[in-house]
Structure 1
Amino acid sequence: MKLLKFTILLLSLTLAACTSMVPRESLPFPLTNADSPKQVKVVSIPLPVIASSPNEGITGGALTAFLIHNAKDEINTLVAPQVNYNENFGVTTSLYGAFYPTPSRNWETNLSQSTKINNDYELRITDKSFLDGKLELNAFAFHLTDGSSRFFGFQSDSSKDNETNYANKETGFTLSASYNFWRHVSFFTGERLRVVSIREGAVKGVPFLKDVFNPAEVPGSDGFTAHAQRFGLSYSTLDSMIAPTFGGYARVSVEISSENLGSSANYQHYEAEAKGYIPLDNTRYITAFRLAYNQTLGSSVPFLERSILGGESTLRGYGRNRFIDSSYFLCNLEERIRLFRWEIFDVTADWELAPFIDLGAVIEKLDKANSRNFEFNPGVGFRAIVRPNIVGRVDLGFGKDGPAVFVGLGHPF
């Protein structure tokens, strides 16, 4: 009965943007919890969806964001049903949910199914409530198929003329634990399983990977399994992991994949990352930067397990997985400028402009690095931030293959 009432409530709220006071018993857990007020404020905002990216092409549709508030009038639940159309994937129906029952716990889920090839089912859990907040546990489980994936070959000079398409069907999980043992320094360890099969993609105007490249020359193109263990150290003074306004973060890690534990090949990942946020004028201006290095060592390393650049969080002038090799260098710099703070539908949001520069290169070996390897991607981002938990963004980047547009949630770094 509660489910029926909640379904009727959702349908009625999608008709127009509005703010409603809903009895807590009509909103089952985890939408609300015992600490929610008896009358819960629910803001519903219908929005058009217009997105374009190098791999997927143009997507159009509509969503309704339901923002559920807690007793402090903060958003502790976001639910967003969505329907899109894309000529490659047909109609895609999805339901995204982000839940923040307490400041130390959050859950995120995405359920998405297309009429052609694509699907995405994800669940992510973060819990920092153990050992007085010193122990953080993370779990992520997924099953997805992406029929828009591209492969151009290896190394920084891979040509757009060699562009191929494929669908990667993946199932797996990631588990990790981080313990803050001294001031801002934490030790972390984790386990990762990824089972991948490669099939024909959804973009019929682009050749299939296996019709252009010899599978013997592209390890993993017949499918692969990665079962890896990771450990490392991190340092953080960030005021927020989701929407930081000041502080710094650094991380070094090693990940080992072994055939003895079920992987398709033996190899190691080495990573180092540093990023910082410098505020000015009471956080109206925030200079954000990131430096990162990644190296993959081993023989017959699956192509999707190598060091990869391209996409919404690395080189924003290119589609996902545009450049693949044994190592990469990456530098991101952007200026996050708050244009205004606006209350719309009883929700206070910061609206930002974020001009950026992305600079990165994939290389086969360190001694082969030179200036010709690097890609320079200028661009501009537009952000809407509802603190402390929600960041919506549109990033427009420019690379040698042309412009790229990415629409999504969360900062790129």
Structure 2
Amino acid sequence: MIRYASLSFLILFLISSSGNAQMMDAHVGPDSVSTALVPAAGYSSNEGFLGGLIFSRYDYRGNQQPFNNLLETSAIATTKGFIEVDARYEQTQTFGQNIRSIADIYFYRYTQDQFFGIGNGTTFSDAQWDDEYYFFRSIGFSFDYRIRKPIYEWGRKQLDLQLGGATEYHIPYISDAQSSFALETPNGSEGGWVNNLNTGLIWENRDSEFDPHHGNRAELELRAAPKWIGNYGLATARLELRQYFYLFDWLTVANRLEARHAMGDTPYWELSTLGNKKTLRGYPLNRFKGNTSLAYTLELRTWLLRFPQLYGLKFGGQLFTDAGRVFTETDDVNDLFEGYHQTVGFGGAMSIFNPDFILRGEIGFSEDVSRIYIGVGYMF
């Protein structure tokens, strides 16, 4: 979604419609379709004037849980050439079977992609930031398709087997000769393809996928990208753990822990990276890179104002802190307990027409810069 180190202003407009007159109720009724359209306009000191669009469509026909199918798309472009487009489509019943399918498409053209080096102790300088020393330009796209099949179900508890594949292409196309990217020439600086097959397990017992208040989610993902079907041969392993619980019947405590490891002929964009819309929010984009990463997030969420008779309108807020670090081959076991970076931040949320539709905005603060993030749904 939208994320900049410096954003002067952003204006959002919400247009929503529903095929069910009861969408203002606490639960979405069966055989209903709900859509939300959010145009955006603003200005960034880094990228100039920007325009964007967020579109979501929720199809609950057939009384499928948590939905029949879901489409989420977003697009943003700026007057200085930045472009980012992503789309996700999920179907809970695929091929007439109890198989959930997820397709993700992503395209970007970064006029200010960022590279700070590899390692947990890379430095940041305000002067070099202002001189665009850390910046380079890049283009990339990816397509990812996965299916999930339940192998164990008991009430709300469910264990799924996941299988899938993905293809992606990245290329840095302009880099100043005196930039950090050009001087360090990381592996993958010539660009190329990575094509992978993946498998994994997902454990789920949350009370909601969109606004969970209690329960857990765990995911183990293994990916293999043979060099004979791409330009790089590598493998990755990722473990993500989430936990949610209620305090005082109005405050949701959300925890997320993620560990990731990459091995093999790994290009820079496939390294374990912290400093994005999900980890160390507030740091510059791709701030820390290494073979292994460990990241933790704690969020406190609550709905502050509710207007149930006004199309289910409600406003909320969240406080968060992110922590994490990366590891390279030169680190040892003692580094596991030190060198962690931390950010803090706050944000707001709004829901209207459909309780599953949540428009979120937040700002994170780091020792380097601050950054704004906008998107649909909670971060996790």
What TM-score comes out, normalization by structure 2 length? Answer: 0.84
- 1:245-394 alignment, distance < 5 Å: 245-262=213-230, 264-282=231-249, 284-299=250-265, 301-342=266-307, 346-365=310-329, 367-368=332-333, 369-386=335-352, 387-394=354-361
- 1:81-230 alignment, distance < 5 Å: 81-102=39-60, 103-130=67-94, 134-161=98-125, 164-183=134-153, 184-200=158-174, 208-211=179-182, 213-215=183-185, 218-230=186-198
Q: Residues 142 and 172 of structure 1 are in contact (CA less than 8 Å); yes or no, is this contact kept in structure 2? A: yes
Cα deviation for residue 335 of structure 1 reads: 1.5
Q: Residues 284 and 368 of structure 2 are in contact (CA less than 8 Å); yes or no, is this contact kept in structure 1? A: no
Q: Residues 305 and 314 of structure 2 are in contact (CA less than 8 Å); yes or no, is this contact kept in structure 1? A: yes
The structure with the largest alpha-carbon Rg is: 1
Cα deviation for residue 64 of structure 1 reads: 2.3
4+ residue runs over 6 A deviation? none
Mean CA deviation greater in 84-93 or 138-147: 84-93
Match of 1:66 in 2: 15
Structure 1: 5+ residue stretches without partners: 1-50
Between the two structures, name the one with larger relative contact order (CA 8 Å, sep ≥ 6): 2
Match of 2:210 in 1: 242
- What one-letter code is carried by the residue in structure 2 that aligns with 1:332? T
Structure 2: 5+ residue stretches without partners: 24-32, 61-66
Cα deviations across residues 283-337 of structure 1 (Å, max 9, x unaligned)?
x1111101111001113x1111010111221111312211100001111112212
Cα deviations across residues 331-356 of structure 1 (Å, max 9, x unaligned)?
11122123222359x33233223222
- What one-letter code is carried by the residue in structure 2 that aligns with 1:233? L
- What one-letter code is carried by the residue in structure 2 that aligns with 1:367? D
Q: Residues 200 and 208 of structure 1 are in contact (CA less than 8 Å); yes or no, is this contact kept in structure 2? A: no
SS in 1 for 2:136: strand
Q: In 2, distance between residues paired with 1:303 and 1:147?
A: 17
Q: Residues 122 and 143 of structure 1 are in contact (CA less than 8 Å); yes or no, is this contact kept in structure 2? A: yes
Number of residue pairs matched?
Answer: 351
Cα deviation for residue 90 of structure 1 reads: 3.5
- What one-letter code is carried by the residue in structure 1 that aligns with 2:48? G
Q: In 1, distance between residues paired with 2:280 and 2:111?
A: 21
More helix by share: 1
Q: Residues 77 and 98 of structure 1 are in contact (CA less than 8 Å); yes or no, is this contact kept in structure 2? A: yes
Cα deviation for residue 403 of structure 1 reads: 3.3
Q: Residues 262 and 291 of structure 2 are in contact (CA less than 8 Å); yes or no, is this contact kept in structure 1? A: yes
Instruction: From the superposition, tell whether residues 320 and 136 of structure 1 become closer, same or farther in structure 2 (CA, over 3 Å).
Output: same
